[in-house]
Structure 1
């Protein structure tokens, strides 16, 4: 199955538990992250997560899953942000 077909069929869900644990499926790439913002590309577009003390608890790109913990203040789809090369690629020169 082609990568594009797999991405279109991947489910996309966002589950927020008590503003402290955020689970997202349908994740294609994490563009950037720090303690105040996570920027990620999903099958439904770019998503910005903002808050305080954010950290990536689990990231499984093969399965398209991400769990972020911390104080979640905002979850927003932002179609004005264009995806760029993965920070994994930039970090490891891939």
Structure 2
């Protein structure tokens, strides 16, 4: 993580989640849409950390930008050069979902 990391709480206190289903769509490693997002923990141009109804998600890449963030649906649209998407469990161990993008 870089020293220019911006961390903040996005949605406020109470966002109800109906179920733990989550959709993640990655198009050409340039556009990523995820639903079920509860909070944006940290982000900069090459790293995002999200809290979702399925756990913590880390996104790595370059020139990353949050293009859209919908509080009512918990949907986020991220663009840039995406090199990895990782889910973390409670023990904070990386579950490899995105290292196939080397």
Name stretches of at least 5 consecutive residues in structure 2 with no aligned partner: 1-13, 94-102
Which stretches of structure 1, 4 residues or more, deviate above 6 A after TM superposition? none
Shift of 1:62: 2.2
Shift of 1:60: 1.0
Partner residue, 2:57: 47
Name stretches of at least 5 consecutive residues in structure 1 with no aligned partner: 82-94
What SS does the corresponding residue of 2:17 show, helix, strand or coil? helix
Q: If the length of structure 1 is used for normalisation, what is the TM-score?
A: 0.76
State the structure with bigger RCO (CA 8 A, min sep 6), 1 or 2. Answer: 1
RMSD between aligned residues: 1.8
Partner residue, 1:84: none
Whether the aligned pair in 2 keeps the contact of 1:29 and 1:61 (CA below 8 Å) is no
Q: Deviations over 1:29-54 (max 9, x none)?
A: 10011100010000000000000000
Q: If the length of structure 2 is used for normalisation, what is the TM-score?
A: 0.70
